[in-house]
Structure 1
Amino acid sequence: MTTAPAASTAPTEADQASGSFLRQPRAVWAVAFACVIAFMGIGLVDPILKDIAAKLQASPSQVSLMFSGYMAVMGVAMLVTGMISSRIGAKRTLLLGLALIIVFAGLAGASGNVAEVVAFRGGWGLGNALFVATALSTIVMSAKGSTAQAIILFEAALGIGIASGPLLGGLLGEHSWRAPFFGVSVLMLIALIATTFLLPSTPPSGQHTSLADPIKALRHRSLLLIGITAIFYNVAFFTILAAGPFALPTYGIRAIGWIFFGWGLLVAVTSVFVAPLLQRAMGTVPAVITMLALFALDHAVMAIWTQHALVVIVGIVLSGAFIGINNTLVTEAVMGAAPVERPIASSAYSFLRFTGGAVGPFVALKLGEHSGAHAPFWFGAIMAAIGTGVLIAARGTIEGRTPHSAAGSELEAEAVLAGDQA
């Protein structure tokens, strides 16, 4: 991750005079469009999981590796993105990430077996890590208006991508399971061309980030405890994405796409609008504890009534609210959790959350193969409950370092958020 320039969180007179935050340079819209496509990759494969398993004669746990491999590579890559971008500059890092997504999404679509799809999804995760790690700071540097307006623009692009990924996967997946992969590759090619010509050159930063910096940051107890909480939370998060389609055996590709589109809309809306309200009312840590406990309860309800499709559908969609709120508040807590540069804290946290989350889909669907469709949701409930317990136990250590009000969300402007809400 690159170190964003020192940015005042208070809008200047020039910022205020700039008018609507929608009146942005073309470079900002190019990066925002690329953000939408990049975040589509999270839920894109949800509607086609069952179809891939059938067409490539793979088990649910084997196709779950499309999530696990993607997240594992993305998590490890977060340790090196800062080192790369601080040496070659933000624009080149963005373009490198986009190019890798284009290549590996296309290769995944051309694969002949599930092992190849999994491998190429891993390459896609590397590209996504490089792109996402610099996208927010690039928008903040290039956008007109206040820092807060730039963050809203980024969050809007992120939300649209998360919501539209399953929908795109469902609509294209009806024609062929390969079509969503090729579709992303084409869209990313458009984003690459737009970014190349519309985004000005960005020189490397004078301060180089080393590979060891994020690991050293985990020596700080508050950051480490938030990271451990995030491991369990993300296991439960990606259990929903992987297990949901297999718990709805009578639902087709398009129907599952619409279900997860509803899920993505709740992720987007609650992360931008509801999370700040809860933060003002409860404080960051109490709000996260409450959402984690409700997330565990949501899993448990789906585990008890797995045979009722309507309960599973409502549970999946409702989980988007808990995920959206937690993603915003936990990321903000990370920014003040340790006396290190915020990009380094973000890198360390993202390494833990993504590599931990990579475990969830495989273990959950393995349990489902042996114990029935309800087992993944019990697994998710237990993981979310453990995360809740860790955060309750660590509350005294963490709470003094976290902002109480929503105003603290502008801290994100000085950090390159490594896949915030992915």
Structure 2
Amino acid sequence: MGLRDFHPAVLATALATFGSFLGIGIVDPILPSIARELGASHFMVMFLFTSYLLVMGLANLVAGALATRIGSKRTMLLGLATVAVFAGGCALVSTVESLAILRGFWGLGNALFTTTALAIMVGVAAGNGSEAISLYEAALGFGIACGPLLGGLLGAQSWRLPFAGASVLMIVAFRFVVLTVEEPEAERQQRVRDVLGTFRHTGVFTNAVIGLLYTFGFFTLLAYTPLILGLSTLMIGFVFFAWGILLIVGSAVLSPRLNRRFGTPETTAGALTVFAGLLGVMWVSSGSTMLSTLVIVGGFLCGILNANLTTLAMGISTHSRSAASGAFNSLRFTGGAFAPITAGYLGQAYGATVPFLIGAGAVGLGLVVLLGRFGEFGFAEPEPTH
């Protein structure tokens, strides 16, 4: 289906999602500059991702419950405002510890936004839930893709400018949502224990565990690789821009086609297999050219897996959309939070490419979990396209 077939609220939320996730990728190219100018080790710099992901994961437990009380639109706006404030704060501090703390609050804001954004898009897109998820993941991917490019351009002048730029973008996104998104039909009120209760469904819990293990590999590639590429800030931006473009292709083009042909669980299993293999090749690779090429190619696989695991999370649960999304993202990002600091420590202690071996092992374990509980996903097929 084309963009014109989506409800305007779906498109508006997708555009806001683009702005929100552009603020994530904008940090990638400046990681080496931050480490160099603030005299920080790779391990300490990785806390910029770990604090962000850990708070984001935990906040997803309450984001869905909050949305059912104050409304999805208000929760989304609160998230955008939080990101705007603390991203701006990152541009003003001068220690890695301060940056890590502010990035944690940034993660809180993004959790409030992402949980409600996905729920709004799926809810408004009546009858086209899987297409809305693909659009959400495409907007997410395009934001992550453009973020490094903007971060590289601004970061070439100063590592502070990308943070300031992210803050301005969130202010623009806030205004856009105020003007264009209407409050959707309210879901019944829920509590944190309702979100946790979704894990009693074995399929939901299994999918969340797979998401956790995949996300560990995902953030090993996304957060750690910029530190060892040995490229300039601008060139790192171009590498991850290309990665993000292929991520869009994977989520918006390849994922729906492969799912219709082979089935969502089968496609997910295949993509996990290839992604684990790619990380394994990165472990034995050397040189910026080879690593950069593998990062870029990995965009295809990350796009497919991002879209498919989210599709399964929303389709397999019998609970509300916000509860299902909150539970999945909570475990997914909380687990992924440990990938950057693990990679930073292992890379300095045992060799620059060793973290990719650990990432490959985590993704491979996710594949084993999926294959072991394959029957849980038989009813979570994508909706047919007319």
Q: 1:146 to 1:301 in 2, by over 3 A?
A: closer
- Matched ranges for 1:364-403 at <5 A: 364-396=343-375, 398-403=376-381
For 1:279, the equivalent position in structure 2 comes to: 259
Contact 2:141 2:303 in 1 (8 A): no
For 2:42, the equivalent position in structure 1 comes to: 60
In 1, the alpha carbon distance for the partners of 2:323 and 2:187 equals 16
2:66 paired with 1:84: yes
For 2:197, the equivalent position in structure 1 comes to: 216
Contact 2:29 2:151 in 1 (8 A): yes
Contact 1:83 1:209 in 2 (8 A): yes
- Structure 2 stretches of 5 or more lacking a match? none
For 1:102, the equivalent position in structure 2 comes to: 84
Match of 2:4 among 21, 24, 33: 21
Q: 1:217 to 1:136 in 2, by over 3 A?
A: closer
For 2:33, the equivalent position in structure 1 comes to: 51
Runs of 4+ in 1 over 4 A off after TM superposition: 22-25, 27-30, 139-153
Q: 1:155 to 1:145 in 2, by over 3 A?
A: same
Greater helix proportion = 2
In 1, the alpha carbon distance for the partners of 2:69 and 2:366 equals 36
2:215 paired with 1:234: yes
* 31-40 or 124-133, larger mean C-alpha shift: 31-40
TM-score, structure 1 length as denominator? 0.85
CA deviation profile, 1:211-249 (whole Å, cap 9, x unmatched): 101211111222211111111111000000122112212
Deviation of 1:118 after TM superposition, in Å, equals 0.7
- Structure 1 stretches of 5 or more lacking a match? 1-15, 411-422
CA deviation profile, 1:108-150 (whole Å, cap 9, x unmatched): 1111100111111111111111112222444566789976775
Contact 2:65 2:323 in 1 (8 A): no
Q: 1:141 to 1:221 in 2, by over 3 A?
A: closer
- Matched ranges for 1:99-248 at <5 A: 99-139=81-121, 153-200=135-182, 202=183, 205=186, 207-248=188-229
Deviation of 1:334 after TM superposition, in Å, equals 1.9
In 1, the alpha carbon distance for the partners of 2:317 and 2:251 equals 23
CA deviation profile, 1:4-55 (whole Å, cap 9, x unmatched): xxxxxxxxxxxx9xx9618975x66654432111011332211111100111
One-letter amino acid matched to 1:388? L
For 2:301, the equivalent position in structure 1 comes to: 322
The structure with the larger Rg is 1
CA RMSD of aligned residues (A): 2.5
For 1:311, the equivalent position in structure 2 comes to: 290
In 1, the alpha carbon distance for the partners of 2:160 and 2:326 equals 32
Deviation of 1:83 after TM superposition, in Å, equals 1.5
One-letter amino acid matched to 2:4? F
